[in-house]
């Protein structure tokens, strides 16, 4: 509700043990609003705009900060009216799923790619590069 995204309960517990906080000389902190930085087609079957449009359609009804960033980025890049999504499902802690134009789609984190057996060396190399860039 306050625009704070914390990844994991351990980080909240660690914050409870903080005794002092040091800020930079101007006292600024980052806004903490997720943004889309890269759209990376992995299979060659879809372009960046198509993938972003599908992702925004799956996330259109979600209130998750990352979902909102995807929808906003799609709208910023081009007219992005969401496609109809049937059988939408929130996969707690992993992502979302739904059917668009008869195709069952999954959108989520690394664990979800492993569960759906689509993770492999080609995916791992992209994830490693993006992670090394702080994304």
Which residues are part of the catalytic machinery? 24
Are the beta carbons of 135 and 37 closer than 8 angstroms?
Answer: yes
Instruction: Indicate the burial class of 62 (C-beta count within 10 angstroms; 0-12, 13-18, 19 or more).
Output: middle
> Can you count the helices (H) and strands (E) in the chain?
5, 3
Q: Is 129 helix (H, G, I), strand (E, B) or coil?
A: helix
Q: Output phi, psi for 109, to 5 deg.
A: -90, -175
Dihedral (CA of 63, 90, 76, 82) sign? negative
């Amino acid at each position: 509700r306050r625009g704070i995204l914390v990844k994991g309960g351990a980080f909240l517990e660690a914050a409870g043990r903080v005794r002092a906080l040091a800020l930079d000389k101007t006292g600024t902190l980052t806004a903490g609003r997720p943004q889309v930085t890269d759209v990376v087609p992995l299979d060659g079957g879809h372009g960046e705009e198509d993938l972003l449009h599908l992702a925004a359609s799956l996330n259109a009804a979600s209130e998750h900060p990352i979902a909102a960033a995807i929808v906003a980025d799609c709208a910023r890049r081009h007219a992005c009216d969401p496609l109809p999504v049937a059988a939408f499902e929130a996969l707690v802690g992993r992502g979302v799923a739904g059917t668009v134009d008869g195709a069952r789609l999954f959108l989520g984190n690394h664990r979800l790619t492993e569960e759906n057996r689509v993770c492999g060396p080609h995916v791992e190399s992209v994830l490693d590069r993006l992670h090394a860039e702080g994304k």
